[in-house]
Homo-oligomer: A and B are copies of this chain.
Amino acid sequence: MDVVNIFLTSELGESLEDFVHDQRRFTFDRLGPEGPRRLVEGPMWAFVDWVMPELAGLEMCRRLRADARTADAHVTMVLEEDDPEDRRRALRAGADDYVIGPLTRTAVLDRVLALQSRGVERQATRRFELGALTIDMAALQARWNEQPIVLRPNEFRLLRFLAENPNRVLTREDLINGLGKREPPIDERTVDVWIGRLRRAIKAAGGGNPLRTVRSLGYVFDLS
Contacts and interface: CB of A to CB of B under 8 A. Distances in A.
Given A117-B114, A140-B217, A106 B169 contact: no
> How many copies of the chain does the oligomer comprise?
2
Contacts of A119: 22, 122
Contact of A106 (B105, B106, B174): B174
Contacts of A125: 167-168
Given A100-B84, A125-B168, A177-B106, A118 B22 contact: yes
Interface in A197-224: 214-217, 220
A193 interface: no
A89 interface: no
Interface string A112-124: 0110111100100
Contact of A140 (B82, B100, B140, B214): B214
B167 A139 contact: yes
A142 to B, nearest CB: 13
Contact of A168 (B138, B152, B167, B171): B138
Given A82-B82, A113-B117, 14 more contacts: A22-B118, A22-B119, A106-B171, A106-B174, A106-B177, A111-B114, A117-B117, A138-B168, A138-B169, A139-B168, A139-B169, A140-B169, A140-B217, A140-B220
